[in-house]
Chains A and B, each alone.
Chain A
């Protein structure tokens, strides 16, 4: 046991003595947190629109002005030909084109039905969906007003409408910052932990000190433990730091108990550090280790549910995600921070992480060879 303490002491001295490492560990994540949280948002703040109004009637102007009145839309052009509007979209100047056909008002009055055409730039599928939803809403709203205005009150009485009142639980104002911070915190802690541990043993291989350690009677488990614990402490400290920043700058809610957050984080970090050490034992240079870590990190992050809902992934991808530790921890963090979930609520995810940690660390210990 005493041996572990001396390894930890040595690792800490080396980390804190490395003048280039310190900013990477402590300053970079904070900057990233501040930037990423503000930048990584799905909200459409400004949708550029072109309106091709071929009807030029009162109704068509009324519809156009409804868009004009929305804070999300900016009508940047109102050409009289579809081709001109299309050119604007080709250039990327407009996100959506609304074409109001000739006879729009006439049809509306005589046939009681009419059409408008929406062309949405769908290069970014997610935002195209949003634009479509927003626009449809506005058109429906217009439709309702038309009904009220034109139908006589007697007929109105006969129309019963079902009004959907949506209320958003756990994030009532659909604040993306609230949604993103827990996830981004997870990413930052993960990146630091994986890189630090992934580079560690392989670095000793490069400078040759691993030989000197391998000729000592040190036990493998002592060595791995001595390597894990320092980075575990640093990463946990970093999580605490990140939570404070989130609270101060973004006023993120922490509904659940910190105790549950840190308990899960503790187990989760053993998974990530174990992963890093495993990579470290299987590679020969820091470059190889970086590349392998990077590969896993990108896959894990993209499939983590941070940016896209895991539920909407294909079934096979969801199965693969059972092996994605980041997905587990982001889920836990969101549940605990936003919903105030208790330990009982997250216990399944928690035990999955425990199992993962035990397996991966055992694998790392087994893979670390004192004899070549």
Chain B
């Protein structure tokens, strides 16, 4: 396996006016790992992920994604990444199949390839019967799984998931993480943001963001040991509180 990091971020700063959303973030993501990006709401997770996906300009910093420069090779990056946003992003008034076909076609897959992948996907998700159902008529859990599948329909090198499990039940969340593991086994690097601390345990490495800064970055086990915590939730609370006292 190529050990060159697939995402390199050095001193990333993003400001909105005087508000600093990302304050000198520095981290590397290894090829094929599941990288968790944790933090409370408003900690700057989504801002960072949007910059890495080429949806937003960084204020400053050096960034490389899949070997391409975020400033100058944004379209190259887009060929190699998948993205599932926090805001649900399949077309409500299209069927499951029509959504898959549309996104796959935008990535330039051939008609034959679209049909083949759709079939595999439908079987995997157990949705063969529901292929012609409108998105608006299927439950949220299905939608999320489908949105994830659509995000990786073109076999990207990296997939960015922005709070993919918001609002779904624990069983579906578990199934969702099974899908993430499968994608990782197939060599896709997974970059996932969440504010569910139990999900952090599923990641290879996690970085914890507090107020726009990375407060800690390591494997879940190492973090638990370092902060003498039973679980990631305690780690997070200690870090968040520490930050608060610092500010005060």
Chain A residues engaging chain B, CB cutoff 8 angstroms: 2-3, 6-7, 9-10, 13-14, 17-18, 207-209, 211-218, 370-372
> At the interface, yes or no: B56 with Cβ under 8 Å from chain A?
yes
Q: Known interface pairs A6-B101, A211-B87, A371-B74. Does A217 touch B94 (Cβ–Cβ under 8 Å)?
A: no
- Looking at the complex, which one of B76, B91, B106 makes contact with A6 (CB distance below 8 Å)? B106
6 more CB-based (< 8 A) A-B contacts, given A3-B106, A216-B106: A7-B102, A14-B91, A14-B94, A212-B89, A217-B76, A371-B74
A10 to chain B: which residues have CB within 8 Å?
91, 94, 98, 102
Contact of A371 with B55 in the complex, beta carbons under 8 Å: yes
Contact of B102 with A216 in the complex, beta carbons under 8 Å: no
B101 to chain A: which residues have CB within 8 Å?
6
- Looking at the complex, which one of A13, A14, A18, A217 makes contact with B79 (CB distance below 8 Å)? A217
Contact of A211 with B83 in the complex, beta carbons under 8 Å: yes
Q: Known interface pairs A14-B94, A211-B83. Does A6 touch B55 (Cβ–Cβ under 8 Å)?
A: no
| Residue in chain B with minimal CB distance to A14 | B93
B88 to chain A: which residues have CB within 8 Å?
208
B11 to chain A: which residues have CB within 8 Å?
none
| Residue in chain B with minimal CB distance to A219 | B75
Contact of B94 with A13 in the complex, beta carbons under 8 Å: yes
| C-alpha spacing A146/B81, complex, angstroms | 94
- Looking at the complex, which one of B50, B74, B85 makes contact with A212 (CB distance below 8 Å)? B85
> At the interface, yes or no: B103 with Cβ under 8 Å from chain A?
yes
| C-alpha spacing A209/B98, complex, angstroms | 14
The 9 closest A-B pairs by CB, nearest first: A208-B87, A6-B105, A212-B89, A215-B83, A217-B78, A217-B79, A216-B106, A208-B89, A211-B85
Contact of B105 with A215 in the complex, beta carbons under 8 Å: no
B76 to chain A: which residues have CB within 8 Å?
217
- Looking at the complex, which one of A6, A209, A371 makes contact with B90 (CB distance below 8 Å)? A209
A216 to chain B: which residues have CB within 8 Å?
78, 103, 106-107
Contact of A212 with B93 in the complex, beta carbons under 8 Å: no
> At the interface, yes or no: B92 with Cβ under 8 Å from chain A?
yes
A214 to chain B: which residues have CB within 8 Å?
55
Contact of B83 with A212 in the complex, beta carbons under 8 Å: yes
B50 to chain A: which residues have CB within 8 Å?
372
In whole Å, how far is B43's beta carbon from the nearest beta carbon of chain A?
A: 20
B94 to chain A: which residues have CB within 8 Å?
10, 13-14, 17
Contact of A217 with B107 in the complex, beta carbons under 8 Å: yes
* Range, interface on chain B: 20 to 34
In whole Å, how far is A313's beta carbon from the nearest beta carbon of chain B?
A: 44
Contact of A215 with B55 in the complex, beta carbons under 8 Å: yes
| C-alpha spacing A7/B98, complex, angstroms | 11
Q: Known interface pairs A371-B55, A371-B74. Does A211 touch B98 (Cβ–Cβ under 8 Å)?
A: no
> At the interface, yes or no: B227 with Cβ under 8 Å from chain A?
no
B85 to chain A: which residues have CB within 8 Å?
208, 211-212
Contact of B57 with A371 in the complex, beta carbons under 8 Å: yes
In whole Å, how far is A4's beta carbon from the nearest beta carbon of chain B?
A: 10
A17 to chain B: which residues have CB within 8 Å?
93-94
| C-alpha spacing A199/B125, complex, angstroms | 34
> At the interface, yes or no: B108 with Cβ under 8 Å from chain A?
yes
Q: Known interface pairs A10-B94, A216-B78, A217-B75. Does A211 touch B102 (Cβ–Cβ under 8 Å)?
A: no
Show 10 A/B contacts (Cβ-Cβ < 8 Å), sorted by A.
A6-B102, A10-B91, A17-B94, A215-B54, A216-B78, A217-B79, A370-B54, A371-B57, A372-B50, A372-B55
Contact of B89 with A211 in the complex, beta carbons under 8 Å: yes
B74 to chain A: which residues have CB within 8 Å?
370-371
Contact of A215 with B75 in the complex, beta carbons under 8 Å: no
| Residue in chain A with minimal CB distance to B83 | A215
| Residue in chain A with minimal CB distance to B150 | A212
> At the interface, yes or no: B53 with Cβ under 8 Å from chain A?
yes
A215 to chain B: which residues have CB within 8 Å?
53-55, 78, 81-83
In whole Å, how far is B161's beta carbon from the nearest beta carbon of chain A?
A: 12
| Residue in chain A with minimal CB distance to B111 | A2
| C-alpha spacing A370/B103, complex, angstroms | 16
| Residue in chain A with minimal CB distance to B80 | A217
A7 to chain B: which residues have CB within 8 Å?
102, 106
A6 to chain B: which residues have CB within 8 Å?
101-102, 105-106
A371 to chain B: which residues have CB within 8 Å?
54-57, 74
B78 to chain A: which residues have CB within 8 Å?
215-217
| Residue in chain A with minimal CB distance to B160 | A215
Q: Which of B81-129 contact A (CB under 8 A)?
A: 81-83, 85, 87-94, 98, 101-103, 105-108
In whole Å, how far is B112's beta carbon from the nearest beta carbon of chain A?
A: 13
| Residue in chain A with minimal CB distance to B82 | A215
- Looking at the complex, which one of A13, A208, A213 makes contact with B106 (CB distance below 8 Å)? A213
In whole Å, how far is B164's beta carbon from the nearest beta carbon of chain A?
A: 13
